[in-house]
Amino acid sequence: MIKELLDVVSEIPTPDALIQQIISTASNPNTSAKELEKVISMDVGLSTKILKLVNSAYYGLPRKITKLSEAIVIVGFKTVRNLALSVFTYSALHSRTTFIDHDKLWSHFMLTSILSEQISKNIGFMNREEVFLAGLMHDIGKLAIDLIFPTYILELSKASKELGIPMFKIEYELGVESHTEIGAELLRIWKFPQEYVDVAYLHQKPSLNPDSPYIEMCCIVHLADLYSNILIPGTSLSYGNSYLDPIVFQILGIKPSSLKLFYNDFGRVYERSKDLIFGGVESETGV
């Protein structure tokens, strides 16, 4: 029901032409840094926001970067693309005032993408930037529901908090379209590659489709989502004990004991990335 509305409700922002162009330019293997810089520079505000993110403590660069072309070759094309999409997601989240705290949801998006990248690094999964983006987009369904039925998501979140049951489980028991389905559908409409659609759809329970060609990414984001809920509880609008899908051990080749090691590591990562998670991108425009 909601799915049908996604395409027609005008409140839902779509990535504008510039974002689309940034994505396609960054994905073109023959793109040079200068070319990507040229595309991003079309929005002066976007360039400065990206530079601000690149220079944040999370990236921990030894020298401050002042030029976008430098940022592109130093942190990589895909990281810059991810940051451009973070800026878009941030503004999409803050496009309207509803009953829920968008800053909180943003911090959940950001921490999940950062932890997704960290898990990839720790287990030796090569496509870290793709996983970052998948982490950023995994809960985009919640944004869509909020924009279409703001009271409904508020009630869902309240119920989750009062009952101590994760939102996903309530959705499942109510038999409604879940935020995972809606998120996947939205990303499909936005013409995101299939891996992001799969992650949005499967991130709550990857074992729903163990045959997905992107099952590793789904498992990584599933874990990152779980850690994110532990580190900053409630920011995802979901409460209660998060579900850990046992399929992650087999797919990612990790042991239950690795989870504890990751947790120790992620505490530090979280401290380092606080300015990214809570600072937002809109609050300051200057570098």
Give the interface with other proteins as residue ranges (CB under 8 A): 26-34, 36, 60-63, 69-70, 73-78, 121-122, 124, 126, 128
- Residue 267: CB minimum distance to other proteins, A: 16
Pick between residue 128 and residue 222 the one whose CB is nearest to other proteins: 128
Minimum CB separation of residue 66 from other proteins in Å reads 11
For the range 57-65, what are the long-range contacts, defined as Cβ-Cβ under 8 Å and sequence gap of 24 or more?
57/272, 57/273, 57/274, 57/275, 57/276, 58/114, 58/269, 58/272, 58/273, 58/275, 58/276, 60/272
At 221, the amino acid letter reads V
Q: In terms of CB distance, is 36 or 140 closer to other proteins?
A: 36
**CA 45, 132, 260 angle in degrees (round to 5)?**
135
For 187, the token pair is 């990303």
Q: In sequence order, which residues have a C-beta less than 8 Å from that of residue 113 and are 6 or more positions away? A: 82, 86, 132, 133, 134, 135, 136, 224
Gap between the Cα atoms of 20 and 218, Å rounded: 24
Give 71 or 93: the residue with its C-beta nearer to other proteins.
Answer: 71
- Residue with Cβ nearer other proteins (74 or 165): 74
Residues in Cβ contact with 107 at an 8 Å cutoff, skipping those fewer than 6 apart: 232, 235, 277, 278
Instruction: Return the number of the residue (60 or 175) whose C-beta is nearest other proteins.
Output: 60
Q: Encoding tokens for residue 128?
A: 């870290």
The H or E element spanning position 196 is: helix 194-202
Indicate the residue among 43 and 70 with the shorter CB distance to other proteins.
70
For residue 265 the two structure tokens come to 């590591």
Least distance from other proteins to the Cβ atom of residue 220, Å: 15
Least distance in Å: CB of 170 to other proteins? 37
Task: Compute the least distance from the CB of residue 122 to other proteins, in Å.
Answer: 6
End-to-end Cα, the chain, rounded Å: 44
Q: Minimum Å distance from CB 120 to other proteins? A: 10
